[in-house]
C-alpha cells in the first residue's frame, strides 16, 4: 500500500490568539474588533494588525469595514443665555455633512450651567455611549475625576473655551485666557486714557477657569502698568442678561465716576441696557467676549467698544482634527495651533 502523508490540520485563529499576539485581554480584543467604546486608538491598531497577521480578518476590505464605523462624538455645552455658546451649538448641529466627510458624527447636549455635579454625571453617562466627548469644563474635583475616569476607559475628552487643570483630558481648544484678560486691560487703559479712573469686571462665574484667568490677567495688567486706574471689584452675572443689568445698575450707583466695564462672560445686552438707561453708553468703555449677532449690534451702535473673540468655525475644525489624530494614533494636537485672540472693533467688523 503506497505511503501517504496526512495534511496537517490547519489551526483556525481564535479571538484568544488575536488577543495574545496584540498583548491585550480577550475582552479588549473583542471591543476593538467590534468598535465598541473603551479602546485606545493605539490599542485598536495593535489588535487589527494582529487580526490581519493571523488571518482572523481575511482581507483588506474586511479590515476596512472594521474601522469604517463613524466616530461617535458628543459635545456638552452649558444651557442658558450665553449667545456665543448657543451659536457654537448651532454650528456643530448644522455641520453633520462636514463631519460625515471625516467619518464622524456628533450630537450636542445642553446641560444646566454652573453645576459641576451635573456635568460630571453627564460626562460619565455620555462616555458609555460615544467614542469621544468635547465639553466646556468647570473647575471642580468632580469634573476632574470624571475626565480621568473616562481616560482610563479609553474615551478621550477635549475641553472647549474653558479648561480644567490636572486631568488626563486629551486637549484644550481655547484662548490663552490670561493673555485675553491682559489684552482687555490694555484696551481698557487706552480707551480710558492716562488719568486716575475706576473700572469694573462682570464675570459669568469663576467656576469657569477661563473667567478666573481672564480676571487675573486683567488685574495684573493694571497693577503692573496702570496703577492710577483702580479695579473696583468683580461681580458674577451667570451670563444672564437680567442679572448683568442689575449688577451694572448697582455698579453705576456705587461708582458714579465709573469709566469702564469688562464683561468676562456672556449677557452683554443687560449691561448695555443699564448703560443706556443711565445715559452712560458713550462715556463708559465697554469691552466683552464673543462676536455674536448681539455683540455685533452693540458694536455698531457704539455701546460696546471692543469684543475679544474666539473663532467658532476654527474651534469646530480643531476639534475634528484632534479626534482624527487620536483615532489615527497621532499626538492629539498635531497640525493644530492655539486659537488667536481676535480683537473686533466697529471699524473692522467681518
- 154-169 tens-digit pLDDT: 999 999 999 999 999 9
**Residues constituting the chain:** 350
**Mean pLDDT, to the nearest integer, of 159-186?**
97
Residue 236 three-state SS: strand
Q: How far is CA 137 from CA 142, 262, 283, 292, 325, in A?
A: 11, 22, 35, 21, 21
Alpha-carbon span 275 to 283, nearest angstrom: 9
Answer yes or no: are the C-beta atoms of 314 and 342 closer than 8 Å: no
- Do the beta carbons of residue 264 and residue 211 sit within 8 Å? yes
pLDDT of residue 333: 95
d(CA 73, CA 30): 21
Give the least confident one: 45-59, 68-82, 276-290, 295-309. Answer: 45-59
Which pTM does this prediction carry? 0.81
From 32-36, 122-126, 182-186, 206-210, the region with the lowest mean pLDDT: 32-36
Instruction: Please give the pLDDT value at position 9.
Output: 45
User: Mind giving me the DSSP string for 292-311?
Assistant: -HHHHHHHHHTS--EEEE--
Q: What is the dihedral of CA 191, 193, 196, 199, to 10 degrees?
A: 10
- Give the model's pLDDT for residue 88: 96
Dist. CA 179–CA 168, nearest whole Å: 24
Residues of the chain with CATH 1.10.260.40: 15-67
Q: Which of 207, 96, 218 is nearest to 141 (CA)?
A: 207
Tell me the pLDDT tens digit for each residue of 215-260. 999 999 999 999 999 999 899 999 999 999 999 999 999 999 999 9
8 Å CB contact between 173 and 339: yes
- Cβ neighbour number for residue 285 with a 10 Å cutoff: 22
pLDDT of the residue at 8: 47
**CATH domain 177-309 topology:** Rossmann fold (3.40.50)
In sequence order, which ranges of the chain are alpha helices (DSSP H)? 15-22, 26-33, 41-54, 60-67, 83-93, 96-101, 116-127, 141-152, 177-192, 209-225, 241-254, 268-277, 293-301, 312-328
Q: Is the torsion defined by CA of 209, 210, 211, 217 positive or negative?
A: positive
- Mean per-residue pLDDT for 282-307? 97
Residues of the chain with CATH 3.40.50.2300: 71-174+312-339, 177-309
DSSP string computed for 122-155? HHHHHHTT-SEEEE----SHHHHHHHHHHHHTT-
Q: Give residue 2's pLDDT band: very low, low, confident or very high (50, 70, 90).
A: very low
Q: Is 3 a residue whose pLDDT tops 70?
A: no
Q: Rounded to 5 degrees, what are φ and ψ at 293? A: -55, -35
The dihedral through the CA atoms of 192, 198, 202, 203 has a sign that is positive
pLDDT value of position 68: 58
| Non-local CB neighbours of 294 within 8 Å, separated by 6+ positions | 83, 268, 269
**CATH node for 71-174+312-339:** 3.40.50.2300
Predicted pLDDT of residue 4: 46
Q: Can you say whether the dihedral through the CA atoms of 220, 259, 261, 311 is positive or negative?
A: negative
Report the mean per-residue pLDDT for the chain.
91
CATH pick for 15-67 out of 3.40.50.2020, 1.10.260.40, 1.10.760.10, 3.40.50.300: 1.10.260.40
Cα–Cα distances (Å) from 201 to 45, 109, 265, in that order, read: 50, 30, 10
Amino acid at each position: 500500500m503506497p505511503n501517504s502523508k496526512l495534511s496537517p490540520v490547519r489551526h483556525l485563529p481564535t479571538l484568544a490568539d488575536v488577543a495574545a499576539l496584540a498583548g491585550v485581554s480577550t475582552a479588549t480584543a473583542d471591543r476593538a474588533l467590534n468598535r465598541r467604546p473603551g479602546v485606545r486608538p493605539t490599542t485598536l491598531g495593535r489588535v487589527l494588525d494582529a487580526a490581519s497577521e493571523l488571518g482572523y480578518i481575511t482581507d483588506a476590505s474586511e479590515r476596512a469595514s472594521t474601522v469604517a464605523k463613524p466616530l461617535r462624538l458628543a459635545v456638552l455645552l452649558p444651557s442658558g443665555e450665553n449667545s456665543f455658546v448657543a451659536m457654537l451649538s448651532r454650528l456643530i448641529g448644522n455641520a453633520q455633512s462636514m463631519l460625515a466627510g471625516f467619518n464622524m458624527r456628533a450630537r450636542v447636549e445642553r446641560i444646566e450651567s454652573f453645576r459641576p455635579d451635573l456635568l460630571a454625571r453627564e460626562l460619565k453617562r455620555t462616555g458609555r455611549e460615544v467614542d469621544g466627548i468635547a465639553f466646556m469644563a468647570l473647575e471642580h474635583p468632580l469634573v476632574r475625576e470624571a475626565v480621568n475616569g473616562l481616560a482610563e476607559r479609553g474615551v478621550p475628552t477635549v475641553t472647549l473655551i474653558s479648561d480644567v487643570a490636572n486631568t488626563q483630558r486629551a486637549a484644550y481648544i481655547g484662548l490663552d485666557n490670561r493673555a485675553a484678560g491682559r489684552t482687555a486691560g490694555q484696551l481698557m487703559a487706552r480707551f480710558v486714557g492716562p488719568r486716575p479712573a475706576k473700572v469694573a469686571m462682570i464675570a459669568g462665574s469663576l467656576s469657569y477657569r477661563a473667567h478666573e484667568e481672564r480676571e487675573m490677567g486683567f488685574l495684573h495688567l493694571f497693577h503692573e502698568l496702570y496703577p492710577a486706574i483702580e479695579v473696583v471689584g468683580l461681580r458674577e452675572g451667570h451670563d444672564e442678561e437680567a442679572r448683568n443689568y442689575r449688577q451694572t445698575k448697582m455698579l453705576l450707583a456705587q461708582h458714579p465716576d465709573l469709566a469702564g466695564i469688562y464683561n468676562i462672560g456672556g449677557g452683554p445686552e443687560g449691561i448695555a441696557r443699564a448703560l443706556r438707561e443711565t445715559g452712560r453708553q458713550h462715556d463708559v468703555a465697554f469691552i466683552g467676549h464673543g462676536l455674536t449677532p448681539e455683540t455685533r449690534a452693540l458694536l455698531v451702535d457704539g455701546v460696546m467698544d471692543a469684543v475679544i473673540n474666539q473663532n467658532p468655525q476654527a474651534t469646530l475644525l480643531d476639534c475634528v482634527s484632534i479626534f482624527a489624530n487620536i483615532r489615527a494614533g497621532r499626538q492629539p494636537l498635531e497640525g493644530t495651533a492655539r486659537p488667536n485672540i481676535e480683537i473686533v472693533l466697529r471699524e473692522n467688523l467681518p
